Structure formats: C-alpha cells, structure tokens
C-alpha cells in the first residue's frame, strides 16, 4: 500500500520530535522591553565618544592655544554637534538607567531594615547634581 | 578547585566605569562639546583651562574619567555584540576589539596626562 | 462585556506537523474566568486534542506557564477579561523545545536547577541531640524572598540571554542558589560558587530585568543575580590578593 509521505508518523525512534522555535536576529525588536534594554546597552557608545572627546581636548591643550582654538571650531561643526547631541542623550540615559539598576542590585540595610530602592536612586541623583555642580564650577571660575 | 574565569575583573571595571561615567560624563560632555564650542557659556581661556588640567589632582581625575568609562564601554559593547547581533562565534575578535580598545585608550590617556605640559 | 472571546491556540503535533500553527476557538467570556478555564472549556467541550499542563489552578504549583499574547504568564492567574475583546494568543513557553501543542520540555531547566545544589549543604551535620538549627527573623528575611520560587520557569521564557545562549544557567537556578547561600544554616556557598562563577553561570547575565518582571511570586531573580555578581567579584579579588586567607 502506498502511504503518502505526509501521513507516515514523523518521529525519531524512542524520542519525540520536539520543535525548537528559532530565535530571530531581530529578537530585540519584537518586544518594547527588549528594545529598551538594547537602547540602554547602546548608551555605552555615548560614554566611549565622551572619552574620545576628552582625550582630544587634553591633547589640544597640551599642543598649544592654536590647537585648542582649532578643536573648538571642529567641535562646533554640524556633524560633530549632531554626534555630540546623540551622545549626550545616550549618556543621560545611561545615568538614569544606571541609578535605577544600582538601586535594584544593591541591598543596603540600616538597623536591620532594607532601604527602599527609590531612596537609593534619590540619593544618587542628589549626589549627581552636587558633583556636576562642582565640576562646572571648577571649569567656569 | 575548578578554574574560574577572569570575568569578575572585567565586571568590576565595568561597574566602576559605570559609576564614574554616570556621575561625571554628562556634565563634562555638555560643557566641553556643546556649551563651550557653541558659545552658550563662555569657554574658559586657554591659560585657565591649561593650568586647571595640569594640576596633579586634575590629571588623576581625568585619567580615571578617561579610562574606567572605556572599560565600561568595552564590557557592555562586547555583550551587546554577543546578544544583539548573535555573533558569539567571533568572540576572540570581539574581546580583542573591546578590551584592546579600552587598554589602548587607557595607555593614551596615561601618556597624554603624564606628559602634559 | 461581550459574550465570547476568541482564543488562538498554538497547535503542534510531532507526528503530523513540521512547525506549530494556530487554531482559533471561541469561548464564553465569563468575568471570573482565567485563560486556563478557557483552555479547559476548549478541551472539554470543543476539541479534546488540545494538550497543556496544569495542576493546582491557584498559582502555587508552577505547571501552567504559557505565553499569553507574547508574555509569559501563569494561565491560572491571568484573567480572560483583561484581554477583551481579544483575540488571545496562547503559545507554549518560549525558549523551551515544544513537545506538543502547549507542552514544553523542561529537562534543561531541571538539570541546571540540580547543578546549583538547591538544598542545605553542611560541612558537618549537627547531631539530633543538639536540637534544631535556630534562626532569627532577621536571618530569615535575608533569603525569604528567594525562597518563594515555584519553579514555573516564566523567568526563563522572559530572559533573552537564555534564548540566545542555551548554556546559560538561568534566573531561577541562580535565585535558588542565592536562597541557600544566604540561609544561615547553609555552608555550601563555596561549592555553589564553583558552578555559578562560570561564563554560563552568573556572568552571562546582562541584567535585562525581564525575569523579575515576569515572576508571579516577586522573587526578583535579577536582583539576586546582581547581588551575587558582587559577592563573586569580591571573592575573586580576595582569592587573588590573599590566597591563603580565602581558603
């Protein structure tokens, strides 16, 4: 009797044919929370960009006033400004998500009770404002 | 004892870099790359900035701010490439690119700040 | 409220199919029904061949985990009316091999769970004559949250790292290892660290945080993993700088 191939049982002996759903390369686009996660991870690019800018500044200062002026001009070109704005947004996102993550990751106990996460975040934000203020003051005085 | 990977070292550098970049990078990037070049805030004169940076404490601070965040980037970007692009089979290249890049940046910043004049 | 709601149920029969497909059923939309009730209605009244796991129907056994509209849920704790007007897509738990319809193969999780020694490890047992191990409420607080795990593996279905790296040991295993590490009666932290401080242990985790969001028992596996990373890192540095002291 000719049995069409489709109707014959399709399992390997002694073992069922499990189906393994493939994970798409675009898994991070399939869910809003996954996309937010990848965006959070990409903030590291903004951090790297900032380090490069700072190194350029240090080098320019070391080379003399003309180099410093040239750097200021280069930094003001539209292309660089665009990159800087994107990086600034990424770096701010890094700060915000970092404070939220470190609140979740740390267990700080005072007198036997655990300090709630939002207090840790809040104190981080206050410290951030204070530190930023000090750095700005040092640069501007 | 079972062999344990060197991962904790990179994770610690990543965490330290994360803290340093969270606190210091936003204000530095904003001032140095946006407010000063665009003239929103009057940039400090060359002499003022030069003398500020040449102070030993500033050099130490700048070394930390230029090196640790690079290690933060290295560790995080390495995992972004693993998971985001699923190219874990290229992991030797990725490790060399990321951590190597961070080491190069650290060496460059050490050189620039040590020889600052 | 409408009378009915449509359920799109993933069907897969290994004898017949190459890959899963969806079959639509219309079930009554009752205010007090959960998705599990709808599935049982289908099985009892409409199509007896639909296959799925369930047991306690009150959110403590962890058997009925499935993807509902793309999110991992306990179907006995997910109200049908939250998805009105529907349709509701019910699929087997993500990142596990599908055996049939909505049933997945869990042995990968079971193997990994056993690897972390999820029991109290003692170097020496206290003899019974010396009485019980005493524990203060504060000592209980240290690990209580992580002891709430019902092994439903919703966290594995939520974790993209587990989906991308089949070797990753996973959130529930690490949270349970922490439950025992932080238990004052346990002396097995060193043994567990050998297993967990590997690439496919805690270091694979990138703190996505989806596991904590998916957990029906508020175990917070993501928090437990990050805390353990800190412990493991400090231990690594200590054993590097003071090899004799850390033994």
pLDDT band at residue C2, thresholds of 50, 70 and 90?
confident
Instruction: For chain C, say whether B5 makes contact (Cβ under 8 Å).
Output: yes
Q: C99 and A106 in contact by Cβ < 8 A?
A: no
Chain B: nearest CA to A41, how far in angstroms?
Answer: 6
- Other C-beta atoms closer than 10 Å to the C-beta of B51 total 13
Chain A: nearest CA to C207, how far in angstroms?
Answer: 8
Q: Which residue has the tokens 């404002």?
A: A129
pLDDT band at residue B2, thresholds of 50, 70 and 90?
low
Q: A37 and C208 in contact by Cβ < 8 A?
A: yes
Average pLDDT in chain C: 93
Q: Which residue has the tokens 């972390």?
A: C116
The percent helix, strand, coil of chain B (3-state, each to 5) is 80, 0, 20
Q: Per-residue pLDDT averaged across B89-109, rounded?
A: 90
pLDDT, residue A2, reads 46
Find the CB nearest A104 among C16, C99, C222.
C222
Q: Which residues of A fall within a CB distance of 8 Å from B98?
A: none
Weakest-pLDDT range from A114-118, C46-50, C72-76 = A114-118
Q: Per-residue pLDDT averaged across A8-33, rounded?
A: 80
**A52-85 pLDDT per residue, tens:** 999 999 999 999 899 999 999 999 999 999 999 9
Q: Which residue of C has its CA nearest to B80?
A: C206
User: How many residues comprise chain B?
Assistant: 117
**C124-145 pLDDT per residue, tens:** 888 999 999 999 999 999 999 9
Does residue B3 form part of some domain? Answer: no
Does residue B2 form part of some domain? Answer: no
Does residue B77 form part of some domain? Answer: yes
Q: Is A100 helix (H, G, I), strand (E, B) or coil?
A: helix
- Other C-beta atoms closer than 10 Å to the C-beta of B80 total 22
Q: Which residue of A has its CA nearest to C19?
A: A19
CATH number of the CATH domain containing B110: 1.20.1300.10
Is the predicted pLDDT of residue C87 greater than 50, yes or no? yes
Domain carrying residue B49: 8-114
Is the predicted pLDDT of residue A4 greater than 50, yes or no? no
CA dist., res. B107 & res. B101, Å (int):
10
Chain C: nearest CA to A41, how far in angstroms?
Answer: 9
Query: What's phi and psi for A77, nearest 5 deg?
Result: -70, 150
Q: Per-residue pLDDT averaged across C96-101, rounded?
A: 94
Cα–Cα distances in Å, from B14 out to A80, C127, C209? 27, 46, 18
Is the predicted pLDDT of residue C175 greater than 70, yes or no? yes
Q: Which residue has the tokens 């993807």?
A: C67
Q: Say which residue, A2 or A38, is predicted with more confidence.
A: A38
Is the predicted pLDDT of residue C149 greater than 80, yes or no? yes
pLDDT above 90: percentage of residues in chain B: 60
DSSP state of C34: B
pLDDT, residue A11, reads 60
pLDDT, residue C166, reads 85
Q: Chain A to chain C, count of Cβ pairs less than 8 Å apart?
A: 70
CA dist., res. C21 & res. C183, Å (int):
46
Q: Which residue of C has its CA nearest to A107?
A: C227
pLDDT band at residue C199, thresholds of 50, 70 and 90?
confident
Instruction: For chain B, say whether C61 makes contact (Cβ under 8 Å).
Output: no
Mutation choice for B interface testing from C233, C235, C244, C246 by most B CBs within 10 A: C233
**Backbone CA torsion sign across C170, C171, C172, C178:** positive
**Backbone CA torsion sign across C204, C209, C211, C217:** positive
Mutation choice for C interface testing from B2, B4, B80 by most C CBs within 10 A: B4
Cα–Cα distances in Å, from C133 out to B45, C23, C119, C123? 70, 54, 15, 14
Q: Per-residue pLDDT averaged across A12-24, rounded?
A: 81
The residues near C200 (Cβ < 8 Å, ≥ 6 apart) are C165, C167, C168, C169
Highest mean pLDDT among A14-18, A103-107, C1-5, C63-67: C63-67
Is the predicted pLDDT of residue C82 greater than 60, yes or no? yes
CA dist., res. C239 & res. B3, Å (int):
12
Q: B8 and C236 in contact by Cβ < 8 A?
A: yes
pLDDT, residue A5, reads 46
Instruction: For chain C, say whether A11 makes contact (Cβ under 8 Å).
Output: yes
Q: Which residue has the tokens 């993500």?
A: C94
Weakest-pLDDT range from B36-45, C3-12, C22-31, C90-99 = B36-45
DSSP state of C7: E
Contact A54/B28 with Cβ under 8 angstroms? yes
Instruction: For chain B, say whether A130 makes contact (Cβ under 8 Å).
Output: no
Burial label for A133, CB within 10 Å (0-12, 13-18, 19+), is: exposed
Bond before B32 cis per omega within 30 degrees:
no
Global confidence as pTM: 0.90
Enumerate the β-bridge partners of residue C104: C98
Domain count for chain B, please give it: 1
Does residue B1 form part of some domain? Answer: no
Give A18-74 as a DSSP string: -B-PPPPTTGGGSSHHHHHHHHHHHHHHHHHHHHHHHHHHHHHHHH-HHHHHHHHHH
CA dist., res. B7 & res. C204, Å (int):
10
Q: Per-residue pLDDT averaged across C99-122, rounded?
A: 94
Q: Which residue of C has its CA nearest to A40?
A: C208
In the complex, which subunits touch B with 3 or more CB pairs below 8 angstroms?
A, C
Q: Which residue has the tokens 């109290």?
A: C120
**Backbone CA torsion sign across A116, C211, C235, C113:** positive
Domains in chain C (CATH in brackets) are 4-104 (3.10.20.30), 107-241 (1.10.1060.10)
ipTM of the complex: 0.91
Enumerate the β-bridge partners of residue C93: none
Q: Is B115 helix (H, G, I), strand (E, B) or coil?
A: coil
**A108-127 pLDDT per residue, tens:** 777 667 788 888 899 999 99
- Other C-beta atoms closer than 10 Å to the C-beta of C128 total 7
Q: C99 and A18 in contact by Cβ < 8 A?
A: yes
Q: Say which residue, C159 or A111, is predicted with more confidence.
A: C159
Instruction: For chain C, say whether A17 makes contact (Cβ under 8 Å).
Output: yes
Chain C: nearest CA to B39, how far in angstroms?
Answer: 40
Q: Which residues of B fall within a CB distance of 8 Å from C160?
A: 83
Average pLDDT in chain B: 89
Q: Per-residue pLDDT averaged across B14-21, rounded?
A: 95
Q: Which residue of A has its CA nearest to B98?
A: A48
**B57-70 pLDDT per residue, tens:** 999 999 999 999 99
């Amino acid at each position: 009797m000719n049995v069409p191939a489709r109707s014959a049982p399709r399992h390997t002996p002694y073992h069922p044919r499990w189906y393994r759903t493939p994970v798409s390369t675009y898994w991070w686009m399939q869910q809003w929370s996954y996309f937010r996660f990848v965006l959070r991870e990409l903030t590291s690019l903004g951090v790297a960009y900032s380090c490069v800018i700072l190194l350029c500044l240090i080098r320019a200062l070391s080379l003399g006033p003309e180099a410093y002026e040239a750097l200021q001009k280069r930094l003001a070109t539209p292309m660089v400004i665009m990159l800087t704005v994107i990086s600034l947004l990424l770096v701010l996102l890094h700060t915000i998500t970092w404070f939220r993550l470190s609140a979740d990751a740390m267990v700080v106990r005072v007198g036997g009770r655990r300090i709630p996460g939002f207090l840790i975040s809040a104190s981080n934000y206050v410290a951030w404002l204070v530190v930023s203020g000090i750095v700005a003051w040092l640069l501007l005085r | 004892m079972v062999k344990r990977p060197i991962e904790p070292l990179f994770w610690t550098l990543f965490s330290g870099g994360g803290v340093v970049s969270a606190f210091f990078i936003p204000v530095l990037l904003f001032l140095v790359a946006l407010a000063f070049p665009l003239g929103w805030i009057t940039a400090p004169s060359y002499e003022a900035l030069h003398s500020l940076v040449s102070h030993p404490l500033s050099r130490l601070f700048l070394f930390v701010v230029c090196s640790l965040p690079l290690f933060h980037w290295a560790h995080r970007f390495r995992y972004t490439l693993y998971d985001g692009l699923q190219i874990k089979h290229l992991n030797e290249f990725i490790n060399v690119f990321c951590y190597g890049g961070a080491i190069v940046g650290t060496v460059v910043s050490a050189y620039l700040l040590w020889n600052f004049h | 409220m409408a009378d009915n709601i449509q359920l799109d149920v993933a069907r897969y029969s290994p004898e017949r199919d190459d890959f899963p497909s969806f079959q639509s059923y219309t079930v009554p939309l009752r205010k007090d029904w959960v998705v599990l009730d709808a599935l049982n209605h289908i099985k009892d009244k409409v199509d007896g061949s639909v296959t799925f796991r369930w047991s306690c129907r009150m959110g403590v056994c962890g058997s009925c985990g499935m993807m509902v509209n793309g999110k991992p849920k306990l179907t006995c704790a997910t109200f049908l009316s939250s998805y009105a007007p529907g349709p509701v897509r019910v699929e087997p738990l993500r990142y596990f091999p599908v055996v049939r319809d909505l049933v997945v193969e869990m042995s990968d999780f079971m193997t990994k769970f056993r690897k972390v020694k999820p029991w109290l490890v003692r170097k020496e047992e206290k003899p019974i004559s010396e009485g019980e191990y005493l524990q203060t409420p504060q000592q209980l607080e240290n690990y209580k949250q992580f002891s709430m795990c019902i092994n439903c593996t919703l966290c594995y279905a939520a974790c993209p790292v587990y989906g991308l790296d089949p070797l990753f040991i996973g959130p529930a295993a690490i949270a349970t290892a922490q439950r025992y590490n932080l238990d004052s009666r346990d002396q097995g932290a060193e043994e567990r660290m050998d297993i967990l401080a590997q690439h496919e242990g805690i270091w694979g985790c990138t703190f996505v945080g989806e596991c904590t969001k998916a957990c029906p028992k508020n175990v917070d596996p993501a928090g437990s993993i990050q805390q353990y990373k800190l412990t493991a890192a400090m231990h690594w540095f200590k054993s590097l700088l003071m090899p004799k002291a850390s033994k």
